[in-house]
A and B are shown apart, each in its own frame.
Chain A
Amino acid sequence: MSRAEAGGPLLEVEGVSVRFGALIALNRVSLGVAREEVVAIIGPNGAGKTTLLNAISGFYHPYEGRIAFAGRDRTHLRPPDVAALGIARTFQNVALFRGMSVLDNIMTGRLLKMRGSFLLEALYWGPARRQELEHRAAVERIIDFLEIQGIRKTPAGRLPYGLQKRVELARALAAEPTLLLLDEPMAGMNVEEKEDMCRFILDVNQEFGTTIVLIEHDMGVVMDISDRVVVLDYGRKIADAPPAEIRSDRAVLDAYLGVAHES
């Protein structure tokens, strides 16, 4: 039995530092995420939030510290291998396949789940056809879930920003991840779109038991949907607590409002 199954955290980040030349983007950050938890990472611009997400998903490699997923060390894996472990993510500046239809975009999310011979696939015959249909069905469920039925065939690049973010979430969900990393899923959205997105994130968490780590600037959203809030400032972790406690945390207020707030 692995440690995770024995009740250990799903994701463990231990003393991770990332530097770019002389700039230390992350400074010995440690963080544990339990299964089925929703953790929000907040902090001022340049605090290292996206860097942390990139380190977890393998785009950056820390020069010290370790990252373990489901009890196994995976500090030095590359992005495709991280994805294969069941970690999916979205990007701050939507990274969709702009020329492909929404449906195809979401189908790419299932690439890791597909097997079989190219020849059969090219002929769309036999097991390949069955497989394609099975995956298609799974994708349709996600499309229904995220309420994007109407834009199935639209090239992703032509959609408004809010919908692109939703399609990106759909693609990440298509991989049926254990851990979902969301980089500012609500940036640039209006209130209504934000509410929808909040609802989707909570539904994903509750219905599929997906563990979620998200970066978000909107404090209202963060307080509403997260079980725990991690605060970064200048590459260091300055707080890690449930939302209610974060609200009154001195260090957090300092970081956000400046030091002389109660003189």
Chain B
Amino acid sequence: MVDVVYAVLVAPFKDMAGSPAFLVEVLIGGVFAGLMYSLVALGFVLIFKASGVFNFAQGVMVLFAALTLVGLLERGVPVVLALALTTAVMVALAFAIERFVLRPLVNQEHIILFMATIGLNFFLEGFGEMLWGANVKKLDIGIPDRSFVVRGVQINELELTAAVTAALLVTLLAMFFQKTRIGRALRAVADDHEAALSIGIPLKTIWVVVWSVAGVVAIVAGLMWGAKSGVQFSLSLIALKALPVLILGGFESVPGAIVGGLIIGIGEKVGEVYWGPLVGGAIENWFAYVLALAFLLARPQGLFGEKIIERV
């Protein structure tokens, strides 16, 4: 009994203290993974806030963006141009979704819009593979996948670039939401459609803007994950990791998506490395979901969500 308590509560922390450089490496790995989760979760939050739609297709949008980018690069298009073209494709996709999915379904129940995004999910998956093929592709954007050492801490150049890019994007989006006229309009639309219309906010434009932004976020997420582990179907599954992030952070909170992503990224890496051996590993695979479950029981509105109070 004492042995078990020691192994669970004391030994891991002794390990951490014993090798701080390694701990920092683990934490950096966690932050990297966390920022990537945040990016995908942000895509969900943006769309959910502005249109009340839970976009099931967000993960496939990441895959689609990455496939498009790789496809263009493989055909010899320079990186910058390929990025610009992919952005154009995602914006075009946003226009198409507004015109052919959202507009015909305006004022429908949320569940119907949700079903529509499931359809969108399968369409995009098939369409992407039809255009660009289904085999695993390597995404090379010219950042070498090698490490350098600072004070005994190994840092992977690719991961660092990805983390900095993600952090920049996340900050930019947060500022966009809080400070700009469009950001304010987005929040207004999220709160009350009728009132937003009455003060002159055109819903359609707002929808195209959020889906475009979600598309751009998908490009960055696809770029970073793709560069690390290749572009393949499993890329769309990171959306599943974004779900616990949303439950932690609250579905409507941009800061929540960021903090939630970091908690899950760091938590699962630290758990895996220090507590994993005790249970035979694979903590990384379930940590996020167990944490989300605990949150659903204790604080269903998430860390930053507004507490739901019903008057009776």
Contacts and interface: CB of A to CB of B under 8 A. Distances in A.
B78 interface: no
A116 B182 CA distance: 11
Interface string A99-123: 1100010011101101010100111
B215 to A, nearest CB: 16
Interface string B169-185: 00010011001111011
Interface stretch (A79-87, A188-196, A229-237): A79-87
A104 B187 contact: yes
Given A100-B187, A111-B181, A121-B179, A95 B192 contact: yes
Contact of B200 (A80, A91, A96, A128): A80
A236 B105 CA distance: 34
A175 interface: yes
Given A118-B180, A122-B179, A123-B175, A99 B187 contact: yes
Given A95-B194, A97-B191, A122-B175, A171 B199 contact: yes
B23 interface: no
Given A99-B187, A118-B182, A109 B199 contact: yes
Given A118-B176, A121-B181, A123-B175, A79 B188 contact: no
Nearest to A115: B181
B81 interface: no
Contacts of B176: 118, 122
B133 interface: no
A183 to B, nearest CB: 10
A176 to B, nearest CB: 12
A111 B199 contact: yes
Given A79-B197, A95-B198, A122-B176, A108 B188 contact: yes
A88 interface: yes
Contacts of A116: 181
B201 interface: yes
A28 interface: no
A19 interface: no
Given A79-B197, A95-B198, A104 B184 contact: yes
A98 B192 contact: yes
B201 A97 contact: no
Nearest to A95: B195
A114 B188 CA distance: 15
Interface residues of chain B: helix, strand, loop or mixed (majority) = helix
A146 to B, nearest CB: 17
Nearest to B179: A124
Given A98-B191, A100-B191, A107-B184, A89 B179 contact: no
Nearest to A85: B200
A42 B195 CA distance: 23
A91 B182 contact: no
B202 interface: yes
A200 interface: no
Q: Among B176, B199, B203, which residue has the most Cβ atoms of chain A within 10 A?
A: B199
A80 B201 contact: yes
Nearest to B194: A95
Given A121-B180, A123-B175, A175 B188 contact: no
Contact of B188 (A81, A84, A97): A97
A128 B180 CA distance: 9
B3 interface: no
A97 B180 contact: no
Contacts of A118: 176, 180, 182
Interface string B157-175: 0000000000000001001
Contacts of A171: 199
B310 interface: no
A57 interface: yes
Contacts of B202: 78, 80
B184 A108 contact: yes
A88 B180 contact: no
Question: Nearest 9 A-B pairs (CB), nearest first?
Answer: A83-B200, A95-B195, A97-B191, A79-B197, A121-B180, A112-B200, A80-B202, A114-B181, A108-B188
26 contacts: A79-B197, A80-B201, A80-B203, A81-B200, A84-B200, A91-B195, A95-B194, A96-B191, A97-B195, A98-B191, A99-B191, A99-B306, A107-B184, A108-B184, A108-B188, A111-B184, A111-B185, A111-B188, A111-B201, A121-B180, A122-B175, A122-B179, A122-B180, A123-B175, A155-B306, A175-B199
Given A79-B197, A96-B192, A111-B188, 15 more contacts: A80-B197, A91-B195, A91-B198, A95-B192, A95-B198, A97-B188, A97-B195, A99-B190, A100-B191, A104-B187, A114-B181, A122-B176, A128-B180, A132-B179, A157-B306
Interface of B: 172, 175-176, 179-182, 184-185, 187-188, 190-192, 194-203, 252, 306
Interface of A: 57, 59, 78-81, 83-84, 88-89, 91, 95-100, 104, 107-109, 111-112, 114, 116, 118, 121-124, 128, 132, 155, 157, 171-172, 175
